[in-house]
């Protein structure tokens, strides 16, 4: 019973967001990548970072990716080294990398330590919000020795972002960004999706939450009464007919917006480009 208790408490902690976004990119404490020579054989353990590496022009140096990295299509030609979380060190080492790029989370600490001990440089990055993208781009540019391209990508991103921000007028319809229905898990202010929705002309009804995602009670959703429900990610199909969800007017009226594609799974230049698609989906649902 004690074990079950502990497990539940840990899960509760995780759910409440012990990985609450502090905003911004974080690099591992004593990253050698920032000051060392540019890397030529890079393994990326995060789909968002894989895509960004290709975008900043470092794709030719990529020798390993996770099995989830399918964008851009060129990434598929790069050998897979398995999972990004709790990575397979054997497969990584087999690629003889000089730099391994991790998704920044405490769970990867052990793997990072092992690779450092083997003399391989590591870089831990995480992009939760849109403004993290140019920062990460520049860091990757340094690490891979493709700073000029990276800089131009970053600047272009910042320009488009500013333009879009200025183009927004008024709060627009309230949007609930839902990723799971039982318990209801919503996207909060710590995620780039919140800003994406804002750029698309709406506002996330749970923007006040600092976490990227969190479980909330159905009552809170009913109270905040979103105009549109954005279904981000899979949820148990059929929840829309469940009696308790009918307490949310948007669900009762079936005002759902759906978007597909990895542009909505992590922040990237493509995400910015997808804002129009998002705006159209929201507007369509609101009718």
Partner 1 sequence: MRRWLLLGVGAACALALGVLLGPTALDPATIARALAGGGDPATVTIVRDLRLPRALLAFLVGGSLGVTGAALQALVRNPLADPYLLGLSGGAGLGAVLAVALRVAAPWAVPLAALAGALAAVVLVYRVALIAGGVLDARILLLGGVVVGAFAASLMGAVMAVSPAPEVRNALLWLLGSFGRASWHAVALFAAYAVVPLLVLYRLARPLDLLTLGEESAQFLGADVERVKRTLYVAASLLTAVAVSLSGIIGFVGLVVPHAARLAWGRLHRALLPAAFLLGGILMVVADALARTAFAPLELPVGVVTALIGVPVFVLLVRRWAR
By DSSP bridging, strand 121-125 and strand 99-103 are parallel
Among residues 153, 216, 231, 257, the one that binds partner 1 under rule CB under 8 A: 216
CA-to-CA distance for 215 and 232, rounded, in angstroms?
14
60 versus 182: smaller Cβ distance to partner 1: 182
233 near partner 1, judged by CB under 8 A: yes
Cβ burial of 114 (10 Å; 0-12, 13-18, 19+) is middle
207 near partner 1, judged by CB under 8 A: no
82 near partner 1, judged by CB under 8 A: no
CA-to-CA distance for 263 and 79, rounded, in angstroms?
22
Q: Which two tokens stand for residue 130?
A: 């849109």
CA-to-CA distance for 133 and 174, rounded, in angstroms?
26
31 versus 181: smaller Cβ distance to partner 1: 181
Half-sphere exposure (Cβ direction) of 280: Cα atoms closer than 13 Å = 6
Of 235-274, binders to partner 1 (CB under 8 A) are 235-244, 246-247, 249
Among residues 74, 219, 276, 284, the one that binds partner 1 under rule CB under 8 A: 219
Q: Quick check: 126 and 27 in contact, CB under 8 A?
A: no
Site string for partner 1, 164-193 (x = CB under 8 A): ----------------x-xxxx--------
Q: Which two tokens stand for residue 79?
A: 């050998």
Among residues 217, 273, 276, 284, the one that binds partner 1 under rule CB under 8 A: 217
144 versus 248: smaller Cβ distance to partner 1: 248
162 near partner 1, judged by CB under 8 A: no
16 near partner 1, judged by CB under 8 A: yes
CA-to-CA distance for 121 and 233, rounded, in angstroms?
33
Q: Quick check: 104 and 124 in contact, CB under 8 A?
A: yes
113 near partner 1, judged by CB under 8 A: no
Query: What is the size of the binding site for partner 1 (CB under 8 A)?
Result: 42
Given the rule CB under 8 A, which residues bind partner 1?
Answer: 1, 4-5, 8-9, 11-12, 15-16, 180, 182-185, 206, 209, 214-220, 222-225, 233-244, 246-247, 249
């Amino acid at each position: 019973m004690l074990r079950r208790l502990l497990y539940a408490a840990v899960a509760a902690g995780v759910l409440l967001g012990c990985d609450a976004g502090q905003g911004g990119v974080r690099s591992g404490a004593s990253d050698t990548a920032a000051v060392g020579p540019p890397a030529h054989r890079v393994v990326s353990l995060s789909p968002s970072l894989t895509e960004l590496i290709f975008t900043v022009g470092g794709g030719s140096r990529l020798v390993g990716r996770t099995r989830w990295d399918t964008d851009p299509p060129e990434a598929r030609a790069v050998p897979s080294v398995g999972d990004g979380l709790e990575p397979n060190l054997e497969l990584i080492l087999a690629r003889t990398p000089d730099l391994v790029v991790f998704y920044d989370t405490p769970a990867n600490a052990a793997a990072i330590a092992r690779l450092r001990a083997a003399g391989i440089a590591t870089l831990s990055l995480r992009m939760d919000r849109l403004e993290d993208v140019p920062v990460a781009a520049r860091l990757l540019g340094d690490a891979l020795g493709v700073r000029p391209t990276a800089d131009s990508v970053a600047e272009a991103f910042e320009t488009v972002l500013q333009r879009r921000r200025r183009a927004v007028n008024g709060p627009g319809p309230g949007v609930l960004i839902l990723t799971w229905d039982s318990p209801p898990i919503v996207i909060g202010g710590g995620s780039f999706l919140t800003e994406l929705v804002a750029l698309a002309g709406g506002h996330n009804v749970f923007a006040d939450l600092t976490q990227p995602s969190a479980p909330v009670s159905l009552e809170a959703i009913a109270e905040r009464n979103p105009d549109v429900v954005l279904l981000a990610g899979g949820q148990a199909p059929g929840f829309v007919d469940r009696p308790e969800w009918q307490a949310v007017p948007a669900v009762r009226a079936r005002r759902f917006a759906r978007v597909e594609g990895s542009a909505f799974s992590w922040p990237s230049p493509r995400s910015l480009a997808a804002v129009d698609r998002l705006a159209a989906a929201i507007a369509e649902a609101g009718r």
